[in-house]
Chains A and B, each alone.
Chain A
């Protein structure tokens, strides 16, 4: 079964201290703020409202701390056991390498200045194309409708795979900390936006 025939509930981790400060976290980590914890709980309530049967869903998080914390808050709020999800390396954020902890706008400007944001190789990190490929390898393993808790770039690339977007179309999407993106029947819908 192709993952495009499944329903995917895509969630970004809640707001972190680095989101507030405006620096790019990549494979480092920063703790969720109180706002970020509220984002995660709100997505747990949203999921209860829009999903028919939570017990029929698989749950996957990025193995990074901020994503697992978000998953555990979401599951607890949805009335599920806090653990009971899988944490998968292929859902980790893009590795920004030497650009980790750089102001986010500078990090993005460097990729744009290269003329090819998709293939721009971050020094000691990953290109967007490499992240796209590993996210695709993960999506190919899915067997049931799933909840996927990950990161800004990872979520953007899950959406790009699902909707079969070109790199240019893919990169125009911004995944916020709040709210949930449902991918189902070839289309997208957002829930719980602030």
Chain B
């Protein structure tokens, strides 16, 4: 049985959304890709084709949230692949921000300053009221990774990419929390226990 840490994984975040521009925490709501976000997706596809070469041996997985699946389709076309032909898996959804969904950090600070102030240093176990922690999301994404049988291309979200990185590189919560989100364009490759960012 193949272990996901022995596979090559290419990980891509959805392109820029309207909420990204406004600084809103979208979570498991959705926000439309901007025109720049659609170009981000196409650029990621061109990078992927350049660094991976023959893509016919890879499995493709997207989050079922609209911004990620749309990014996958734009990316596949730009990489010279049929638009469809990927799986959309629930475990790749963005983390759930509960009552903070749709708010900016300033808005959250205005309604709940004491709770927001507890976010650091243990960010990995912090959560919004009614939401989930990064540690909980890591367990979900770990469940997804254990189903992989081939090298794969994964299109997901900011927090999803952070917990995926923690799981693939086997990081402690403290080391994992030090890693930021992926940019909205470009490709990260995980192979042989190492990571490498290929920007646009």
Interface residues, chain A, with chain B CB atoms under 8 Å away: 26-31, 61, 63-65, 67-69, 83, 86-89, 92, 95, 100
Chain B residues with Cβ under 8 A from A95's Cβ? 90
B88: Cβ under 8 A from any A Cβ: yes
Contacts of B28 in A (CB 8 A): 63, 89, 92
Contacts of A30 in B (CB 8 A): 88
| Residue contact A65 to B32, C-beta cutoff 8 Å | no
Q: Which residue of chain B has the shortest Cβ distance to A26 in the bound complex?
A: B90
Q: How far is the CB of A83 from chain B (nearest CB, A)?
A: 4
A29 contacts B64, CB within 8 Å?
yes
Given the complex of chains A and B, what is the CA–CA distance between A67 and B88 in angstroms? 14
Is the CB–CB distance between B88 and A89 below 8 Å?
no
A126 to B43, CA, bound (A): 38
Cα-based distance from A87 to B88 in the complex (angstroms): 18
Distance A27 CA – B101 CA, assembled complex (angstroms): 18
**Interface pair B90/A63, CB less than 8 Å apart:** no
Instruction: Please give the residue numbers on chain B whose beta carbons come within 8 Å of chain A beta carbons, in ascending order.
Output: 27-32, 62, 64-66, 68-70, 84, 87-90, 93, 96, 101
B141 to chain A, nearest CB (A): 14
Shortest distance from the beta carbon of B30 to any chain A beta carbon, whole Å: 3
Contact of B90 with A28 in the complex, beta carbons under 8 Å: yes
Q: How far is the CA of A61 from the CA of B96 in the complex (A)?
A: 17
CB pair B90 A89 closer than 8 Å: no
Cα distance A26–B96 in the bound complex, in angstroms: 17
Asked whether A89 and B89 contact (CB < 8 A) given A29-B69, A31-B84, the answer is no
> Is A27 touching B66 in the complex (CB atoms < 8 A)?
no
Given contacts A26-B90, A31-B84, contact A89 B66 (CB under 8 A): no
Instruction: List 9 A-B residue pairs with CB atoms under 8 Å apart, sorted by A's residue number.
Output: A27-B90, A28-B89, A63-B66, A65-B69, A87-B66, A89-B28, A89-B29, A89-B96, A95-B90
CB–CB B64/A65 < 8 A: yes
A61 CA / B31 CA spacing, docked (Å): 11
User: In the bound complex, how far is the Cα of B28 from the Cα of A30, in angstroms?
Assistant: 18
Q: 5 closest pairs, A vs B, by CB?
A: A87-B30, A29-B88, A27-B90, A29-B64, A65-B69
